[in-house]
Amino acid sequence: METQFKVQYKTTINAPLEKVWKALTKPEIVKQYFFGTDLVTDWKVGSPIIFQGEWEGQKYQDKGEVLEYEHNKRLSYSYLSNWSGKEDKPENYLWVCYEVKQDGTQTELTIHQSNYDEERVKHSEGNWASLVDEMRKIVEK
């Protein structure tokens, strides 16, 4: 996996850690804030992870493998986007990692992601901010 270009998105969410963790890992919640995407995985290390759906009339299926899963703490997976135009080869998969930490009544969420180039780093930063804002609306209720 190419990890030369990395993005880190860090924020605090006004919700308990368990609620944030569920929003990151439960397909029915992910679908509500992740562009209607269906998340398919069992979260076991070595298992496939699939993000699939339809965006602007185009079907997509992004895929990867669960690399790490520590309940209520950290998870990571490899990731190849249908839209990347990259060949399905190990070196074309990105790395995504979520870390959560309780901070009083709030949860600190840190998202790490490797990227192909500097331009896509900026795009990823914007995407994560947008996605987390949508997730925040759900978990801070």
| Beta-strand pair 58-70/106-115 | unpaired
When pLDDT is cut at 50, 70 and 90, the band that residue 121 belongs to is low
Q: What angle do CA 29, 132, 30 make, to 5 degrees?
A: 15
pLDDT of res. 126: 76
What was the pLDDT predicted at 83? 81
pLDDT, tens only, 38-70: 999 999 999 999 999 998 888 999 999 999 999
5-139 CATH fold: Alpha-D-Glucose-1,6-Bisphosphate; Chain A, domain 4 (3.30.530)
